[in-house]
Every structure is written in C-alpha cells, then in structure tokens.
Structure 1
C-alpha cells in the first residue's frame, strides 16, 4: 500500500464538510454557531456532541469523544484511518484510488482465521451435499417452502447428512479435532466424534464483514427434536454481537432507505422470497447494545416486523423502549398475528410487501399495545397507562405532535397529563442539561492554568501569537499545555494559518488532542489575537513560574544547615522576588 501524504489527506479534508459527513450518520440541529446531535459513542439521549463547522471538528462534552471528520468516520465505522479517508473522499466527491486499500486489513488472529476456515469448508461441503441425489427430499422441502435455487445459493443453505459425514470431511481436510470442537461443528461423545448439526438443513451465519462464524440448523423430520439449534458461543461466535444477513443487506438498506428487522433467519428468507433484500434478524427477540450499534451504523430507519402474536408484540414493545430516541424506527402494523412466512402462505407474497409498507409510529404502537396491556376500566391501571403514555409523549421532539397526543390521551382516559409532565420537566430537566454540558462550560479556575489555556487559544488564532509566546515565554508549567504549545509552534513552521482539523492528525498523545479540542470548543475561545490579553497572560505565567521557584527555594532554605549556602539561596530568592515585582508592576501599568 502506498502511504498517503499529508498533502493528500489535507486535500481530501478540505473538500469535505464535517457537518455534511456527520449528518449522514446522525441528525444535526443548529444551536448558535455550532451543530448538535446525540453522541453515537455513548448511551446519549440529550444531545451532547457539538460539531464546529468553522474549525471542522466535533466534540462530545459528556464522554469526551472528539476529533476531525476522519476520526469520526473511523470510530463510527470501526475501520482503519486510510479506510476512513477513502470513505470521506467518496462522500466529498474526491477521486480516490481504492486499490490503495488492498493491504489495509487489520491484523489477523491466526486461531480465529482457523475457525473461519472450518466454517467455510463446512459450508462448501453442506452445499455440495444439498445438491446430491440423496438430499432430493430435503431440496424438495425447501422448494415447497418457496425457496428458489437462487435464494438457496445466495444464502448458502446446505444439508448436514447423517453418519457424521461433516466430521469425516473436515478431518480429511486436516482440521484437528480440538479445533472442530472449538468451532462447535463437532463434539466428542462416548462413541467418539460426532456432528453437531447432523441430519439438519444448515443456514450459515456471518459476522458484519461477511466471515462465516456459525450456523442455525433446522430439523427436517417432524419429531421431538428442537426445531432449530444454533452454534454455541465460540471464540468467533457471540450471538449478541451478530445480526443475520447484515453483510448482504447493508447495501440494500442504503438503496431502499430502510432496514426491515425480523426475528429469525427464516423470516429474512421470507422477505427474500418477496423480492425484498433489506431484511436482517437478531436471531431471537432479545437485542443487545452491540446489535443496536450495528443497526445504528446502517444510518437508515429500521422497520420492526416481529411476529404478530402476543410474544412478538411484547418483544416489539421491549425493543422500542430500548431504541426510542436512539435512531429512527417504525413498526409494521401486524393485525393478522402471523409470522412473515405464514403471511406468504396464507395471503401471498404481495401481502407481505404491502404489510411492510403499512407502518405506524412508536407512539401509535404504544397507544395500541398499552391500551390492551392495561385494564382501562380500572382506575389505578388507567392511571398507570396515562403516566406511561405521558412519559413517552414528553420525549417527542415535535411540540405540535406532543399537543396532539396529549389531547388523544385526555380523550381516552380523562386525564390531562400536560401539567404533570411540565412540572416534572421543570424540576428535573435543568439538572440534566447542566450535567450534560458540564464539561463544555468548564474553564480553569486556577489563574496560571487559565492563563496557559488562554495563551493556547490565542496561538490557535494566528502565527503572531505563537511567535510572541515562543520569544517571550517558551515554556508552560502544565505538561499537556506545554506539549500542545510545541505542536502549534512546529505547525507554524510550515503553515501560515492553523487548521485545527489538520493539527489533530499530527498529534499522537490523546491527552494533548483532548486539550486541543477543549480549547477550540470554548464558548469564550478567542476568534482573533488580542495582544494586550496575550501579554498579560504571559506575565501571569512568568509570575507563576517564579512563585514556584521561590517555594522550592524556601523548602531548600529550611533544610539547609550551612549558613553560607543558606545566604546564597536567600540572595537568589530575593532576586526572584524583585523579578516578580517587576512583572507585577508592568502588569499594573
């Protein structure tokens, strides 16, 4: 891979607007001179991430995440720096040679790679076996379920024959027994090694990058065996970190503008039969933070299409409570109480398509679901229903919609919840807002540290301030401040104007990056150089340096027993006191 030059990186960054790029991932709202959004890097419900268009940087004032357009994309997408540069180039319409990405893959875990290879070999074998004559009844079963050969091939559906043939095949491929056990495709029993998924239809499961990590396997015979069994947890398979079909559906979600979330792999295949390629599944109704993060990275609305039975609607409610205000979502209004495959069987493919378009909002779903959950004929239950609905309405961003739904709640229950909610907001919201912005308003109280920060703020405004600092002070007591000052001075050796987003890429130490972002995002940050303030701050720093030297001399004098050496130290102390007095006199002129 050819290394990207600083000039190439800066050219791409100069063509990309950080507001435009971040808005592809998070909805932004302008407040004052900056844009704000909820932070995708922590559990954030009150917008705490600021995006500064002038300086082309972002900063979260709760979790501390910050950087430029490249670091945002790199962290959000969990990709390498050069991959982030390539993505930003695409967003900005800058021509980028993607062949330069060929050797940017992350370091490979040899053991994980071995397990991936076992799964890939098993996929090839089970796909081959499904096409064998003896698997004719299995293939017929899939065809009767409406799965075409094209879908079977696309999803690599296979057949794990009896008599431990998968184990014998993988053993012949030189895979060690302990590795097959670790991959959970075979186990050791009293009679020796045996297949985990024997005599089952196999559905491969992949990670977000398309690497095979496990299987969901369906029984063929109608017996007492579990209908589905899945891979147990392994080094490469953690159910809560995976979304079925994510790697295939991702581009389709972008194309269609939405993702359809279903319960299981067969539900995904049902939508595939209907010609809809943007369905994904959590392989169950429980949803983890890792899975929510993957969904959020799709950056499209999620349409929840869980089963229409009581269990499915209960799961929809639990999921909605998790993702409300996290990303955009809608809910399919499933009034027939069937799963996607059953809908196709009873009503046909077109009905599944139409149903996926009949969506309702989260608040409409709550009105339906909770009015059935609570007995509205009972006063205490009606009160609980009204309170839960009022809390949900209060979280809505649109005041007009809020008013409409409060009226709807009043008509349904007779309770006017607006006053109750307003009182709660008055007592709690200011405290929450102050907590969310605490770091944003932080300004050093210590005079010397505050002066150092103000000097750095002015140095960011222009080379003149940097030169004055270099010539008249040249050192800061705080180590992080001193490191940042060195970076700024060095930057001006080759640049006439400082771009914060550029400087961030040159800084290696995270604490120095954090300080730069903090100073650049001050509400009171300097927009231009004020020479009088700059020189006053330099004098304060000089005075503070002298104060510290005097304190050290006082300690040395107290510990010194030699009268001659004590007198020498006292003379030095008096000289410093006179020097400090001269600085203070200049400051008061």
Structure 2
C-alpha cells in the first residue's frame, strides 16, 4: 500500500509541534508561540521559533526550519520516512504504506521484550540507590564527584546482594524465557544470583535510546573485576557499544567533531565541564559499525584513550583504521598518566579542554612518541622507527600532510627521501557505505510543490546572500603558523564551523528548490545539468539525472509528477523520498513556478559556498593538528585560497542582488 501526501498531512495536522519539539528541547512560551535554543548551531540564546498555529518551526540564525517531521528528521539525523514513522506513532496515526519501507524493524519480538525488561530493571536499580543498603555506593559516587543530576540523567543505579530481581520482574508479567534472554542473572548448579550483584550499575543505551545492557562498577576493596559489562545476548553486542551517543548526537553535529573515550565515567565527567560531544567505546575496538554511525554526523574524530604504552598502541591502530575510511582523525595527547575522569575530579578543566582542542594528527603524534625510543646510533632502532612511521604514512591520503611528513621523517632519521618513498606501499581506501531508503510511495499532491517564501524574487534568492562582514569574527593572524594562541585558534575554528553549519542548511534548501524547478519545467535544464557534480545529496542528484533524461528523451514535458513517479518506479534503486523531503522541508506557496537564470545561479552558488566552508573548516582543523611547520605554511596558503574563492562568489551574489 502506498503513502500519499494526505496521510503525511494528517500526521502533521494532528501533531502538536510544540509538544513534540518540547520532548527534545527546553521550550519557553512567548505569546502564542514558543522559543528554544536552536540545537542545529552553536548558541546559548533562544533563536528557534515554534508556531503551533502554523505547524512550523524556524531558526532565524542558522535558517533551519520546516514542519514537525523535518524537525525530528534533522534532530535525529535520520531519514524522512523514519522521522514520519516516529511522529505518526506519537500521534497514533497508522500509515500502512510504511510497512513497505526497506528499513525493517531493528528488533524482532524477542529482542523487543528484552529491551522492555532492561528498561524496567534500570528503573528498579535506580530506585535501589536511595535505600539503606546503597549507603556505601552513594558515598563512593560522592567521592567520584557524581552529582544527583548526573545520577538522574544517566539513570545510575545499584544492585544490592540477595535482591530478588527475578521475582520482581516475573510479578511485572515478564516470561521466564525472556528473563533468561536478558542475561541479568547468573547461576551455578541450583544457585542463582543477580549478575551485577553489589555493583553500581550504569545503563548502556544504543543510538535510538534503547537500553541494551549495563555496566557494573565495583566500589569495595577486593571486588573484581573493576568493571563488568552485560554478557552478549540477543540485544547486547560488544562490537556496537557507543555509550552516550544518543545524548551527544546534537552536540557532535554542532561542534562538528566527536571525542571518543574509553569509559562511561570519562563521558560523565566531561559532560560536567561542558564537553558534551563525547562517547565511550568501553574497552571495545572501534568498528565499521561505529564509523557508519558517527560519520553520519561528523567526519572529525578525536581519540582520547589511555595514555600508557598499550593505550597509545591501540590509539594509533585505531587511527590507521579510521584513516583508511577517509575519517579526519586526531589523537589527544595525555602525558598525565590519568584518565579524563580523574583530571576533571581534580579540577583540571582548562587542561582537559586544551588537550582536546590541541589533538594532533596521528603522524605528528607518532613521530614524537616513538622518538623517545629512538637510538640513532643503533641501526635496528633506526629501522624500527622509520618502519613504524612509514606504516602510518601509507594510510594518509592528504598529499600535503603526506609529503611534509616524509620530509620530516627524512630529517629526523637521516634516511634519504627516495629510500623512504621506496618503503611506502599503496593502501586501498575502504568505503563505508551508508544505505539509502529505496521505498517508493506513489501519490503526491503536486499542487503544493512550489516555492518557499524566501525564494519569491525570481532573480535572486535573498536568503542565500552572504554579507560583507564575513570576516568580522575571523582573525587572519591565526593563519600565521607562529600565531598559535589557544583562544585565537578556538575563535577561528568556531567561526569556520558555524559558517559550514549555516550553509549546510542553506545548501539543503537550494538542492530542494533546484529539484522543484526541474520538476516544473526545463527552462534551466542545461545549467542544472552542467552543475550536477555540485550536489551533495546523492539521492537528489540521481532523481534529477533521471528527470533530465526524461526531458531529453521527450518522455516528460513538465508539471506532471505522476509521470515522474511512474518512471521512477520502473528503475531499481531510485527513490521518491527527495520529493517528500522537499515538500516537507520548505514553506510552500502556490505562486510562480519559475526561476530566472539568476535565481538558479544563486542556488548553485550557495551549494558551492557550503562546499568551500566545509573544505575551509577541514583545512583549518588539519592545520591545528599538524606540528610540522612546512605543512602549516602550505595549509595556511590553502586556507587563504579558499577564502578568496568564498569572497569571489560572495561578490558575485551581491552584484546579482543589486
């Protein structure tokens, strides 16, 4: 059964947008509307406006806006149809067509029942923390600096000895086989006990906020091991642990980086000092599961693992794994021999912040770290040093960093550059594929598929104009490699990231409007066709390519979405979801359905500006990470070149607006 626009409209109309956004954000009533701090850019002041009567939200700083489905999609970084499903479930509207979606339920019935058991157990454990038997556990948490608010937020609990959890859960109506599947109990012969007996427990959530398991912390002398995680079961997979990701996802998006820690105590402590973009992998190796999950939000990973020899070795191994997957990875240097939690508890907030900000490129980190073991007078030691660095160089894909690292290694070791180059092997790039939804709904209300209010000017898209004060927060002195003041560096990266995030939203709108224009008519077909490589959304690009092909084969004359739908349905791998996303991303009017070439070029320039700011942000971060002076100069020049391109496009857009 297909989904039609009327079903989507029913969900939107039935949903109270303020109530649903209020589940994600703290909202304040202001007259008939509501305000909130926007979660889509770095800000402390409320700029997100919610209008229940109009069923829309809008941020007047970063430009993100739309209806309730758009908000859920953007906030959860998910697909349009998953967001539709979340909202439809909330307002109890059944959409039969969703069952045809390729995104099948993640959990089967048995797994879903274990999740319910875990949730009930977590509430019970949390309640046990206020009992007399938990006195020593509470004292331990106080010593570790854990506050009541953190106990509440992270649902920290306690499992007393001889507590009959099984009987409690059976009385709640759970079946014995499901309790056995939960692995919350241990047994030996006829004796049975709670798996986390006499431990402080920390629930572990997955990326969709399901409690998949627990970690138990020993707090009394003699209790071993110190940490004890749930036994692998039908929902708990050690290779997929990402503690705090669901809480951190929005902060990761805004900061455009993720801090990867070892343990959950590190996450809680960093949260306490305002660093909220962290996750813990809890002793597991980073896997392709993590890469797929995290890279949907950011491709800037910072590793903050143990600083001992084994920890450094693991960090470098993980860094190489990420470099092969085209992730911008850096290593946080920790020479204190203390973990992040200990540093925070001891009051070293500023030190932790600077350590994270000054994370280093794996090559720079490795060259310095292994230097302490190098004996230049010992051939074996020298060969071993060169080999270790070359093994990392092989995985570096940035030509500037690769070349300057080879030159630096040659200078340190005394080995000729040509000899080093002979040692370097070519390593294949590993692609981490993000599957896209391929569900094809059939009906669509084409009459409403037109222009956003901010695009009413046919010649220029005013919402995309960049003002001349683009550098008012940009300290050019930072681009001098000698000017590495912490606050200046922080200011420039923050500004670059803000611009990238701002244009990310504008880029989405531009791509949507280009699709709308082409569905309506072929007047701007050639200019859109010649700029297809600009599109950042693969699904949109493929649908536009298909529409262009239909025009060129005289299979389509415009203004007939039904014709496009029929054609798309015959092509495997093409989805109509871009049309639905476009419809629900923008505020539409039924005015003029055409844009002049000036308006089209303005949209294309907006996509270019997004790409340039993304590249500028990436280059600036690389410049921070490297300690190689020559690399800093080259990256400095590249930053300047990108800024010149930005100014050129900006000037063009301003002239177009005159």
Give the structure-1-normalised TM-score.
0.57
Q: CA deviation at 1:123?
A: 0.6
SS at match of 1:369: helix
- 1:258–1:278 contact (8 Å) kept in structure 2: yes
Equivalent of residue 507 in structure 1, options 570, 587, 591: 570
Tell me which residue corresponds to 1:341.
341
Tell me which residue corresponds to 1:409.
409
Tell me which residue corresponds to 1:153.
152
Partner deviation per Cα, 1:299-321 (whole Å, 9 max, x = no partner): 24111111212221111111112
- Structure 1 residues 230, 373: closer, same or farther in 2, change over 3 A? farther
Tell me which residue corresponds to 1:216.
215
SS at match of 1:150: helix
Query: After alignment, is 285-294 or 316-325 more displaced?
Result: 285-294
How many angstroms apart in 2 are the aligned matches of 1:100 and 1:371? 63
The 5 A counterparts of 1:88-107 are 106-107=104-105
Tell me which residue corresponds to 2:359.
359
Q: How many residues align?
A: 383
- Structure 1 residues 127, 289: closer, same or farther in 2, change over 3 A? same
- 2:320–2:392 contact (8 Å) kept in structure 1: no
Tell me which residue corresponds to 2:183.
184
- Structure 1 residues 423, 195: closer, same or farther in 2, change over 3 A? closer
- 1:82–1:101 contact (8 Å) kept in structure 2: no
Tell me which residue corresponds to 1:162.
161
The 5 A counterparts of 1:217-296 are 217-296=216-295
Tell me which residue corresponds to 1:478.
none
- Structure 1 residues 391, 501: closer, same or farther in 2, change over 3 A? farther
How many angstroms apart in 2 are the aligned matches of 1:305 and 1:226? 23
Q: CA deviation at 1:401?
A: 3.6
SS at match of 1:318: helix
The 5 A counterparts of 1:117-136 are 117-136=116-135
- Structure 1 residues 423, 163: closer, same or farther in 2, change over 3 A? closer
- 2:77–2:296 contact (8 Å) kept in structure 1: no
- 2:145–2:345 contact (8 Å) kept in structure 1: no
- Structure 1 residues 405, 102: closer, same or farther in 2, change over 3 A? farther
The 5 A counterparts of 1:539-578 are none
How many angstroms apart in 1 are the aligned matches of 2:175 and 2:289? 32
Q: CA deviation at 1:267?
A: 1.6
Partner deviation per Cα, 1:201-221 (whole Å, 9 max, x = no partner): 010011111101100001121
Q: CA deviation at 1:167?
A: 2.2
The 5 A counterparts of 1:468-507 are 495-496=557-558, 505-507=568-570
- 1:274–1:352 contact (8 Å) kept in structure 2: no
Consecutive unaligned residues of structure 2, counting only runs of 5 or more, are 10-72, 430-521, 523-545, 576-658
CA RMSD of aligned residues (A): 4.1
How many angstroms apart in 2 are the aligned matches of 1:172 and 1:111? 19
SS at match of 2:233: coil
- Structure 1 residues 101, 222: closer, same or farther in 2, change over 3 A? farther
Query: After alignment, is 245-254 or 219-228 more displaced?
Result: 219-228
The 5 A counterparts of 1:323-402 are 323-326=322-325, 327-346=327-346, 348-372=348-372, 375-390=375-390, 392-393=392-393, 395-402=395-402
Consecutive unaligned residues of structure 1, counting only runs of 5 or more, are 10-73, 88-95, 434-461, 463-483, 514-589
Q: CA deviation at 1:278?
A: 1.4
- Structure 1 residues 177, 423: closer, same or farther in 2, change over 3 A? closer
Tell me which residue corresponds to 2:617.
none
Q: CA deviation at 1:298?
A: 2.4
Tell me which residue corresponds to 1:144.
143
SS at match of 2:389: helix
Q: CA deviation at 1:115?
A: 0.2
Give the structure-2-normalised TM-score.
0.51
How many angstroms apart in 1 are the aligned matches of 2:554 and 2:165? 65
Structure with higher Rg: it is 1
Query: After alignment, is 342-351 or 167-176 more displaced?
Result: 342-351
How many angstroms apart in 1 are the aligned matches of 2:401 and 2:170? 63
Q: CA deviation at 1:99?
A: 7.2
Q: CA deviation at 1:352?
A: 2.1
Q: CA deviation at 1:378?
A: 2.1
Greater RCO, 1 or 2 (C-alpha within 8 Å, sep 6+): 2
- Structure 1 residues 190, 299: closer, same or farther in 2, change over 3 A? same
SS at match of 2:201: strand
Q: CA deviation at 1:188?
A: 3.6
